[in-house]
A and B are shown apart, each in its own frame.
Chain A
Amino acid sequence: MSWYKVTHISNIPLREGRKVRLPNRRELALFNLGTHFLAIDQQCPHLGGPLSDGIVVGDTVVCPLHAWKICLSTGSVRKPASNSCVRSYPTRIENETVFIEFTEEIPEQVAS
């Protein structure tokens, strides 16, 4: 479990998102919702569209490629009906700087 110190809050304008590339090359999308910041995977569960480039609608983001709507706090797909989802990541703010917590997924044990 690691917290990453990402960037000064002013670098992410209100209701916009930015792509964040972690040292392990993992790409996340970080959004400024005015009162708080939310982070999810960068790649859209549909066909991999860049979610940080979407329009923010309430607590969701609309993918710029084919308008799937993804919930920013849970990572679930709101529209269309779909079971796929992306991961969401805890964030916090300290000294006007955003931090994201990222934990490597532990691959499930394969039953032998």
Chain B
Amino acid sequence: MRKLVVIGNGMAGVACVEQLLKYGGEVAITIFGDETHVNYNRIMLSSVLAGDKPEEAIVLNDLDWYRKHNIDLKLGRRVVEIDRELRLVRADDGTVVGYDQLIIATGSVAFVPPMGGTDQENVYAFRTLDDTRALLRRARPGARAVVIGGGLLGLEAARGLQVQGCDVTVVHLLETLMNIQLDVTGGEYLRRKIEQLGVKVLTSRKTAALTGDGRVRGVRFDDGEEVPADFVVLACGIRPNTALARSAGLQVNRGIVVDDFLRTSDEHIYAVGECAEHRGIVYGLVAPLLEQGKVLAAALAAEDYSRPYQGSLTAAKLKIMGVDVFSAGDVNGNDPSNEVVRYEDAGQGVYKKLVLKEKRLAGVLLVGDASQEHRFMDWLRTQADLAPVRDSLMFPPPTPDRGSQVAAMADSEIVCGCMGVTKGAIIGAIHEKGLSTLAQLKDCTRASTGCGSCTHLCESLLQAVAPGFAREIPEGMCSCLPYPQEKVREFIRGQQLRSVQEVLDIYGNGVGCEICKPALSYMVDVVWCGEHDEDRSARFINDRVHANIQKDGTFSVIPRMRGGVTSVAELRRIADVAEKYRIPMIKVTGSQRIDLLGVKKQDLPAIWAELDMPSGMAYTKGVRMVKTCVGTEFCRFGTQDSTAAGIELEHRLEQLHSPHKVKMGVVGCPRNCAEATVKDIGLVGQEGGWQVVVGGAAGKTVRKADLLITVTETEQALQAAQIFFQYYRENANYLERTYDFVERLGIEKIRKETVYAPEAVRSGLLERLRKSRAHASDPWLEGRQPARPTQFVQIEPVEVVQ
């Protein structure tokens, strides 16, 4: 078997191995790492230092991963020799391993400037997890920390220590902070921001020595001035870690010289990451080394030399909350042929600069507001001709963007129409109660707890007003069960859980809430195709009594009227019932059906029986209706029998629950009289066939449906609709309408996994749909045989005892 040895268990080496494993094939892999940790995300050390993330959260590959891929991991061992003749490496503990191919991924070492006193106690680097731990042990409120170096690393270290309560001073050799990425003005803006955070900044200071007696006491500059220090962090830059390669006789300039396939001067040895030098450039960021790893893996595993590594476009970003700094490309623009566009607002602390070369973007620098970073990076990457957008370079032409919408609103304007909460009330609550998350805002003001259409607006307000705003990324459904929904579905399937309570007992807090219980009820239903243990106490009242609760506690009754088609007999029964039970309002709904409103719970079973029509299920997250137009039956333009197709579609899908309600429409021609193109599923007839469209909406959101497939036969159209419906049932998050689902996944992916999927996948979806459908029944039959004791009755005490 081919033997591959990797020196360096860091981000580049392991990323390359990950790529390599994707190709499969026989290879025995050994990785040496002189740190004692599994591969972690070095970038995130700044967050660990600032207390934003625990150590465990930055692990990239855990031990199981190495085990699973049979990787011989040698941790805490440093390779001290490469014998190119015998093709073996020797580690400091005497371990010897032979190789057919060797990857050097030794990264960088922190640069220690040549001056006195750096070997004392209390002098730290900021490169590894061990460094970070040491700093966290040392940092305490009031401790005086001096960080030498005002680059990305130094500033992030300074911020981290300051968050830990230290009294921090940053010392920088040059006049400009982050001088590699910024120009003089940008450096000034940044300096002001850093000082506002409470960090002291000393620029144009050359450190001559660290004073002390074995323990650091202070930092002395070349002009003799001295600042006291309880500890010192050296962040003076990094140097490619090339000693090993050099002593093995490989060609080394600044880094280990590699060609476009990451080969060193020895054909059996490769180098990736910060230790490598490609076309004269040594990279110090993660993105390039991932690209390198891909090229190398292709070359090693598949001898694929078709895509050489051609260098990377890099961008630097400071990861300090509230201090936006972004820089990419050539930002100095000293060449007189360059055109420089600048924007400055000292009051806001915003500085932006674009460097153009022959109408294309050559560099971008943003301080204080990096919100447009993606737009600029895109221009840089694609080298787009900017002439057409020349007059809106810095700021995009006005779009109805949420941020400005917020600014333009008066304080008295209503943000949440459902709860009647004004902009002024929200801002007041944010200030008074110190709110910073959407959840807190919801709890405190009830804004955004209704239909949710103002969520974005509320977030924009928080963003604009709350100092500590951070958009919550919904991890789980709620705090009772902190897992993403796809994980929960996995648990249900894997552990064979059939009831809501079981899921909550094993994976949750055992109690649940009004948000997760209905969601779990749906999930156990769909995973087991209806063969679950139905727990009505976990359902919303609508699903316990199969009617929609109204504002006064009464209910509404909407019978199913497939395709919107009814008959004299049905209309007569509806009229009789309405009269007999004194229904306060009879209304034609927006969905082509008839609604009886204001019904008392006790009357529901009798009304259903006398109507003798199935439930329209207008109260639940499930299949609602199929609206149809008259089609070829009567319409002079009809090209398809849309009424019959709609009724058939409703027959096939009715009585089923879904992540959110599903409304459908079938129309006989593109005039679209039943609005099929703004329905969750629509069938649009045309001469000789049908278009099946999905993800449409005309509710809170208005969205035109995407084309799923075009077919010639009605049966094919119905099947496509069924396949999509079941796919949505199985994959959408609870309460995710198809318009969000289709947008989240993208119609291409959905096509690939539904109508264009292999026959086995399609028939699997149809089979599970068939099974669920076979288990479902008309909920209104429970009126005759209640599923639960006293389901529809109120209880009257039998006697007074005392």
Q: Are A4 and B801 in contact (CB under 8 A)?
A: yes
Query: What is the CA–CA distance of A1 and B802 in the complex, to the nearest angstrom?
Result: 7
- Among B444, B549, B795, point to the contact of A11 (Cβ < 8 A): B795
* Per-residue interface assignment for chain A, residues 1 to 44, with 1 indicating a CB less than 8 Å from any chain B CB and 0 otherwise: 11111110011111110111111000000100000000000000
**Is B580's CB within 8 Å of the partner chain A?**
no
- Among A12, A13, A80, point to the contact of B536 (Cβ < 8 A): A13
The answer to whether residues A64 and B541 also contact, given A50-B553, A57-B512, A99-B801 and a CB cut-off of 8 A, is yes
**Is A72's CB within 8 Å of the partner chain B?**
no
Q: Are B540 and A55 in contact (CB under 8 A)?
A: yes
Q: Chain A residues near B552 (CB, 8 Å)?
A: 48
Q: Are B794 and A20 in contact (CB under 8 A)?
A: yes
Query: What is the CA–CA distance of A44 and B754 in the complex, to the nearest angstrom?
Result: 46
Q: Are A5 and B799 in contact (CB under 8 A)?
A: yes
Q: Are A13 and B788 in contact (CB under 8 A)?
A: yes
Q: Chain B residues near A6 (CB, 8 Å)?
A: 795, 797-798
Q: Are B797 and A14 in contact (CB under 8 A)?
A: no
Q: Are B801 and A5 in contact (CB under 8 A)?
A: yes
**Is A79's CB within 8 Å of the partner chain B?**
yes
Query: What is the CA–CA distance of A48 and B444 in the complex, to the nearest angstrom?
Result: 21
The answer to whether residues A55 and B549 also contact, given A4-B800, A7-B797 and a CB cut-off of 8 A, is no
How far is the CB of A8 from the nearest CB of chain B, in Å? 9
Contacts of B744-802 to chain A: CB distance below 8 A: 788-790, 794-802
* Per-residue interface assignment for chain B, residues 535 to 566, with 1 indicating a CB less than 8 Å from any chain A CB and 0 otherwise: 01111110010000101110000000000000
- Among A20, A47, A49, A55, point to the contact of B537 (Cβ < 8 A): A55
Q: Chain A residues near B443 (CB, 8 Å)?
A: 79-81
The answer to whether residues A65 and B549 also contact, given A16-B536, A80-B444 and a CB cut-off of 8 A, is yes
**Is A62's CB within 8 Å of the partner chain B?**
yes
The answer to whether residues A18 and B790 also contact, given A47-B551, A80-B444 and a CB cut-off of 8 A, is yes
Q: Are B794 and A18 in contact (CB under 8 A)?
A: yes
Q: Are A19 and B794 in contact (CB under 8 A)?
A: yes
Q: Are B790 and A12 in contact (CB under 8 A)?
A: yes
Q: Chain A residues near B449 (CB, 8 Å)?
A: 66-67
- Among B444, B790, B798, B802, point to the contact of A3 (Cβ < 8 A): B802
Q: Chain B residues near A15 (CB, 8 Å)?
A: 537-538
The answer to whether residues A58 and B537 also contact, given A12-B790, A13-B789 and a CB cut-off of 8 A, is no
Number of A-B contacts defined by CB within 8 Å: 104
Q: Chain B residues near A1 (CB, 8 Å)?
A: 802
**Is B64's CB within 8 Å of the partner chain A?**
no
Q: Are B797 and A81 in contact (CB under 8 A)?
A: no
* Per-residue interface assignment for chain B, residues 443 to 473, with 1 indicating a CB less than 8 Å from any chain A CB and 0 otherwise: 1101001000000000000000000000000
Query: What is the CA–CA distance of A81 and B536 in the complex, to the nearest angstrom?
Result: 29
- Among A3, A14, A55, point to the contact of B801 (Cβ < 8 A): A3
Q: Chain B residues near A10 (CB, 8 Å)?
A: 789
- Among B541, B549, B789, B797, point to the contact of A5 (Cβ < 8 A): B797
How far is the CB of A73 from the nearest CB of chain B, in Å? 15
Q: Are A21 and B551 in contact (CB under 8 A)?
A: no
**Is B384's CB within 8 Å of the partner chain A?**
no
**Is B517's CB within 8 Å of the partner chain A?**
yes
Count of A interface residues, CB-CB < 8 Å: 41
Contacts of A34-92 to chain B: CB distance below 8 A: 47-50, 53-58, 62, 64-67, 79-81
Q: Chain A residues near B536 (CB, 8 Å)?
A: 13, 16
The answer to whether residues A11 and B794 also contact, given A16-B536, A65-B551 and a CB cut-off of 8 A, is no
Count of B interface residues, CB-CB < 8 Å: 33
Q: Chain B residues near A7 (CB, 8 Å)?
A: 790, 795, 797-798
**Is B513's CB within 8 Å of the partner chain A?**
yes
Q: Are A20 and B551 in contact (CB under 8 A)?
A: no
Query: What is the CA–CA distance of A100 and B798 in the complex, to the nearest angstrom?
Result: 12
The answer to whether residues A3 and B800 also contact, given A50-B553, A80-B444, A80-B446 and a CB cut-off of 8 A, is yes
* Per-residue interface assignment for chain B, residues 331 to 352, with 1 indicating a CB less than 8 Å from any chain A CB and 0 otherwise: 0000000000000000000000
Query: What is the CA–CA distance of A16 and B793 in the complex, to the nearest angstrom?
Result: 13
Q: Are A4 and B537 in contact (CB under 8 A)?
A: no
Residue of A nearest to B797 (CB): A4
Query: What is the CA–CA distance of A47 and B420 in the complex, to the nearest angstrom?
Result: 15
**Is B97's CB within 8 Å of the partner chain A?**
no
How far is the CB of B499 from the nearest CB of chain A, in Å? 12
Q: Chain A residues near B21 (CB, 8 Å)?
A: none
**Is B735's CB within 8 Å of the partner chain A?**
no
Query: What is the CA–CA distance of A6 and B801 in the complex, to the nearest angstrom?
Result: 10
Q: Chain A residues near B540 (CB, 8 Å)?
A: 55, 64
Q: Chain A residues near B790 (CB, 8 Å)?
A: 7, 11-12, 18
- Among B446, B553, B795, B799, point to the contact of A49 (Cβ < 8 A): B553
Residue of A nearest to B433 (CB): A81
- Among A22, A30, A62, point to the contact of B513 (Cβ < 8 A): A62
- Among B537, B798, B801, point to the contact of A56 (Cβ < 8 A): B537
How far is the CB of B15 from the nearest CB of chain A, in Å? 45
Residue with the highest number of chain A CB atoms closer than 10 Å, among B513, B553, B799: B553
Query: What is the CA–CA distance of A56 and B797 in the complex, to the nearest angstrom?
Result: 23
Q: Chain A residues near B794 (CB, 8 Å)?
A: 18-21
How far is the CB of B606 from the nearest CB of chain A, in Å? 18
How far is the CB of B761 from the nearest CB of chain A, in Å? 37
Query: What is the CA–CA distance of A56 and B512 in the complex, to the nearest angstrom?
Result: 9
Residue of B nearest to A19 (CB): B794
Residue of A nearest to B541 (CB): A53
How far is the CB of A20 from the nearest CB of chain B, in Å? 5
**Is B514's CB within 8 Å of the partner chain A?**
yes
**Is B511's CB within 8 Å of the partner chain A?**
yes
Residue of B nearest to A99 (CB): B801
Q: Chain A residues near B789 (CB, 8 Å)?
A: 10-13
Q: Chain A residues near B544 (CB, 8 Å)?
A: 16, 53
Query: What is the CA–CA distance of A15 and B517 in the complex, to the nearest angstrom?
Result: 12
The answer to whether residues A21 and B553 also contact, given A16-B537, A80-B446 and a CB cut-off of 8 A, is no
Q: Chain B residues near A12 (CB, 8 Å)?
A: 789-790
* Per-residue interface assignment for chain B, residues 487 to 522, with 1 indicating a CB less than 8 Å from any chain A CB and 0 otherwise: 000000000000000000000000111100110000
Q: Chain B residues near A2 (CB, 8 Å)?
A: 800-802
The answer to whether residues A67 and B514 also contact, given A21-B795, A55-B540, A80-B444 and a CB cut-off of 8 A, is yes
* Per-residue interface assignment for chain B, residues 20 to 40, with 1 indicating a CB less than 8 Å from any chain A CB and 0 otherwise: 000000000000000000000
Q: Are A64 and B538 in contact (CB under 8 A)?
A: no
- Among A19, A30, A58, A79, point to the contact of B511 (Cβ < 8 A): A58
Q: Chain B residues near A23 (CB, 8 Å)?
A: 796-797, 800
Query: What is the CA–CA distance of A62 and B518 in the complex, to the nearest angstrom?
Result: 13
The answer to whether residues A55 and B538 also contact, given A1-B802, A64-B549, A67-B514 and a CB cut-off of 8 A, is yes
Query: What is the CA–CA distance of A79 and B444 in the complex, to the nearest angstrom?
Result: 9
Q: Are B517 and A55 in contact (CB under 8 A)?
A: yes
Q: Chain A residues near B538 (CB, 8 Å)?
A: 15, 55
Q: Chain A residues near B788 (CB, 8 Å)?
A: 13, 16
Q: Chain A residues near B514 (CB, 8 Å)?
A: 54-55, 57, 62, 67
Query: What is the CA–CA distance of A41 and B525 in the complex, to the nearest angstrom?
Result: 34
Query: What is the CA–CA distance of A103 and B469 in the complex, to the nearest angstrom?
Result: 50
Query: What is the CA–CA distance of A2 and B800 in the complex, to the nearest angstrom?
Result: 7
Residue of A nearest to B537 (CB): A15
Q: Are A54 and B799 in contact (CB under 8 A)?
A: no
Residue of B nearest to A32 (CB): B537
Q: Chain A residues near B512 (CB, 8 Å)?
A: 57
Since A20-B797, A67-B514, A81-B443 are in contact, a sample of 11 more A-B pairs with Cβ atoms closer than 8 Å, ordered by chain A residue number, is A2-B802, A4-B799, A7-B795, A11-B795, A13-B537, A16-B536, A19-B795, A21-B795, A53-B553, A54-B514, A54-B541
Q: Which 4 A-B pairs have the closest CB atoms?
A: A15-B537, A53-B541, A50-B553, A62-B514
B positions within 8 Å CB-CB of A: 443-444, 446, 449, 511-514, 517-518, 536-541, 544, 549, 551-553, 788-790, 794-802
12 A-B pairs in the complex with CB atoms less than 8 angstroms apart: A5-B797, A6-B797, A13-B536, A15-B538, A21-B795, A53-B553, A55-B518, A64-B541, A65-B551, A80-B443, A80-B446, A99-B801
